A and B are shown apart, each in its own frame.
Chain A
Amino acid sequence: MRVGVLALQGDVSEHAQVLREVGAEPVLVRTPQALEDVQALVLPGGESTTLGALMARCGLDQAIRRRAQEGMPVFGTCAGLILMARRASGGEPPLLGLMDVAVERNAYGRQRESFEDDLACPAVDPNPFRVAFIRAPVITGVGEGVQVLARHEGLPVLVRQGRLLGATFHPEITGYTGVHRYFCSLAASAGGVG
């Protein structure tokens, strides 16, 4: 399966590596044309303001929104999730506005508060796995159609709405493959898209 990774900025190569490890073919997406060629899309970690500006400048925001509406599966981590959220608690306008969640940016504090921890998420893995929260956002509200797959200290950190998956943490920098495997099987079962 050809899985795009939005490659305008962020930890693109880390996602591409994990996708290869779970048997998908990563495709770097920097233009709307490149997006036509993928069956699913990963929005990486990075800086959400930078990614938002760069997507808008090359028309990728509209292209991604259109493909997502047509059913393309999308997985966002950290900044990627911020791009997907419909609401921001700071009142900022949504960037892609795909998923019915509200997020607050940098909600754990500055970099010195960034941390790693084990996460329990039976939907993905019977065993807890190690993930990193880096200047992470917090999901402050979830809509009715949104399923909370994992919580950390009571807060939702992995959420799913149909073919959309969002994580406030980074599974890709600890080399953990389970969340990507989950996304790829979700995307494969979406079937025949693109």
Chain B
Amino acid sequence: MQLREVGTERVKRGLAQMLKGGVIMDVTTPEQARIAEDAGAVAVMALERVPADIRAEGGVARMADPARIKAIMAAVTIPVMAKVRIGHFVEAQVLEAIGVDFIDESEVLTPADEQHHIDKRRFRVPFVCGARDLGEALRRIGEGAAMIRTKGEAGTGNVVEAVRHVRQILDEIRRLQALPEEELMTAARDLRAPYELVLEVRRLGRLPVVNFAAGGIATPADAALMMQLGCDGVFVGSGIFKSEDPARRARAIVDAVAHYDDPDAVARACEGLGEPMRGLDVRRLEPAELLQTRGG
């Protein structure tokens, strides 16, 4: 009578729900993964290079070597995520085959398909995707994403784009809620989003999946800012292992996210952390240097 049902929408979205209130950290080695886990990360993102190095070194950025990802999986008990290029469903098949817990179809890597994203419903492993606005978030959810993150501008150590994207999404949700029902089809057309998801967002007053902040978060105060703006958790990419004291900064960001609405606790987390990553002024980047405009 009992029959397990694997890979359902509920168990995919469910893992993202278990990550709420947590920090997901980019790591490139098993040692870094252990530092992240000891600091209290809820998951790690296994990468070949962190976004700041991808940005600096250029070239085509691809899925990490499976051997590297497996070494990281063996080093920690928390979930391990890894990135695939937008539209590269074979990289996703590879990650599913080696047992990665969550796949990030990411603009940080060089896109493999400029027209189409991966059909994420075909996979048992859940996907997270970046979004800059509500329409983009709902298109990704329509393709089967179990979790959304702001795109921000990865590898800059500058939170401004993540703030822009989360405010944009929340603003568009509020607008939907204010619309009369007969205008929702037109709203769906303008958002270029599936109509049923537009109805669901209006009813819930939020996205139907967990929504994390990502792209430029470098300090405990940045992380608490994103939480107070309404995100469910944060990704920190280059911000930890490009700083002076990664273990300490990692722990401080975890503490700031857990106690984001307590300024005294955030103040304690911010104290004496050493130098943060250097950071970039996003306005000085050329359009071709922006990662957030990839996919859409």
Contact = CB atoms under 8 A, between A and B. Distances in A.
Contact of B11 (A12, A14, A134): A134
A152 to B, nearest CB: 7
Interface string A1-13: 0000001111111
Interface stretch (B38-46, B84-92, B164-172, B279-287): B38-46
A79 B2 CA distance: 24
Contacts of A8: 21, 258
A173 B14 CA distance: 7
Contacts of A132: 10-11, 14
B5 A135 contact: no
A132 B16 CA distance: 13
A54 B258 contact: yes
Nearest to A8: B258
Size class of the A contact interface (CB-based, 8 Å): 35 or more
A11 B20 contact: yes
A112 B99 contact: yes
Interface string B246-263: 000000001101110010
Contacts of A133: 11
A112 B4 CA distance: 12
Interface in B1-22: 1-8, 10-11, 13-15, 17-22
B64 interface: no
Contacts of B21: 7-10, 12, 46
A90 to B, nearest CB: 8
A112 B124 contact: yes
Given A11-B17, A111-B126, A112-B99, A46 B5 contact: no
Interface stretch (A19-27, A113-121, A185-193): A113-121
B135 to A, nearest CB: 25
B37 interface: yes
A111 B257 CA distance: 24
Interface string A152-193: 110000000000000000100110000000000000000000
B11 A47 contact: no
A105 B76 CA distance: 12
A134 B11 CA distance: 6
A106 B125 CA distance: 15
Given A7-B21, A9-B22, A46-B18, 6 more contacts: A30-B262, A47-B22, A47-B79, A110-B73, A110-B101, A153-B2
Question: 9 shortest A-B CB distances, which residue pairs?
Answer: A111-B101, A115-B4, A9-B21, A53-B40, A114-B11, A47-B42, A11-B17, A110-B99, A112-B124
